[in-house]
Amino acid sequence: MKRRVVITGLGVVTPLGVGVEASWLSLCQGRSGIGPVARFDASPFRTKIAGEVNGFNPTDFMTSKLVRRSSRFIHYAIAAAQMAVDDAGLTIDMANNDHVGTSVGTAMGGVESLEKNQELVLKGAYNQISPFFIPSFICNMAVGQVAIYFGARGPNMCSVTACASGTHAVGDAFQAIQRGEAEVMIAGGSEAAINPVVFAGLDVLKVMSARNDEPGKASRPFDKDRDGFVISEGAAMVILEEMEFALERGARIYAEVLGYGHNSDAYHITAPDPGGEGAAACMEMALNDAAISTDKVDYINAHGTSTALNDLSETRAIKSVFGEYSRRIPVSANKSVTGHLWAGSGALEIVFSVLTIVRGIIPPTANYQTPDPECDLDYVPNTAREEKVDIVLSNSFGFGSTNGTLIVSRFPSP
């Protein structure tokens, strides 16, 4: 039998706030973290808004030396991991560190470090290149630094699967514990890609919202007038533990991870399969892994990016998997308030899914004003809903036709 895996710690750094409580409160109130870009001059671009992290001081979590020698996606990852470890009441030492692993996803890595050092190369200032450029840039350095920071010597994995990276990182960690490779995994996603190079690339793709005059209303998943996603940044981490290990140390258990699915549409580099076939198969994989029927799912935390194609494809996939029950199951999109944190989103949505179970509140899909006839499910429009939730299914889909679905449940599972 597969070993059971539970969630015992949560930590986040988001545009809604630093820490779980601040972010959860803003989410439930539908208070957006999106505003005009402040980090650089966005005036040349069609889109001029983003979900930037504010009020974050990295030296609250790490030494100033480490801050100087690493990039923001690493800062966010370490901070979120520290909050999660503290929340779990977990001690990592020589007695257990071989059994504690790390799994952190990112889509872009330390892209601002690449941008800065490339400018030096173009100027011919090779002697000014930082010796910490590569270690602050490459994608696996968030998970590497988290492992070093905590002395975690177990499995060490990095998922680089665009918008599904965080979900895949948590799913991979879940399976590592199931297989007996670790007793504990620090898992999640981190992203810090709000910079001119990434912005320019997304701008020419015309996938970002250009509702610059109303930043807080720009991300509007499933709404008929949606015009693209809003890029955001931040990190989210969870502590996963083998159930008996957690019980023996007297850990508080938030929820249990029941199932994981991951596959590919094999369709297009940026667009989802219009019929949602790959996404549907991914959800079915997770349901089969969890050994539950569709009518046991109480809530779907949607990928819900606010793009025309993604929202329609996901709606069709949900209908395909859940049939008539899809009309009764609440579906909401956290990105309506957070924006799209890329790798951070999937992990953050797992944190919010867990809190939905624990707090008995389904977060709303904010900015839902004009129904789309083709997106006709219960999207929990604009107002949070008090409701007992035992099982949540959470979706993430990414560029490159990649999909990920996780299912979490109340503990002990029904």
Residue among 99, 158, 340, 375 flagged as catalytic? 340
Contact 376, 315 (CB under 8 A): yes
Contact 83, 20 (CB under 8 A): yes
Report the alpha-carbon distance of residue 96 to residue 150 in Å, rounded.
11
For 153, other C-beta atoms within 10 Å of its C-beta total 18
Residue among 28, 139, 163, 282 flagged as catalytic? 163
Q: Is 262 a catalytic residue?
A: no
Q: At 370, which amino acid appears? A: T
Name residues whose C-beta falls within 8 Å of residue 223's C-beta, 6 or more positions apart in sequence: 306, 367, 368, 369, 370, 371, 372
Q: At 140, which amino acid appears? A: N
H or E segment to which residue 244 belongs: helix 243-248
Name residues whose C-beta falls within 8 Å of residue 116's C-beta, 6 or more positions apart in sequence: none
Report the alpha-carbon distance of residue 352 to residue 10 in Å, rounded.
10
Q: What is the gyration radius of the CA atoms in the chain, in angstroms?
A: 20
DSSP 8-state code for residue 123 = T
Q: At 383, which amino acid appears? A: T
Q: Is 75 a catalytic residue?
A: no
- The tokens describing 329, both together, are 């199951």
Q: Which residues of 63-78 are buried (b: 16+ CB within 10 A; e: fewer)?
A: eeebbeebbbbbbbbb
Q: Which of 60, 84, 81, 58 is nearest to 70 (CA)?
A: 58
Q: Which of 73, 26, 11, 101 is nearest to 341 (CA)?
A: 73
Contact 128, 212 (CB under 8 A): no
Residue among 99, 262, 303, 375 flagged as catalytic? 303
Task: Kindly compute the dihedral angle of the four CA atoms of residues 152, 132, 199, 372, in this order, to the nearest 10 degrees.
Answer: 0
Report the alpha-carbon distance of residue 274 to residue 277 in Å, rounded.
8
- Residue numbers annotated as active site: 163, 303, 340
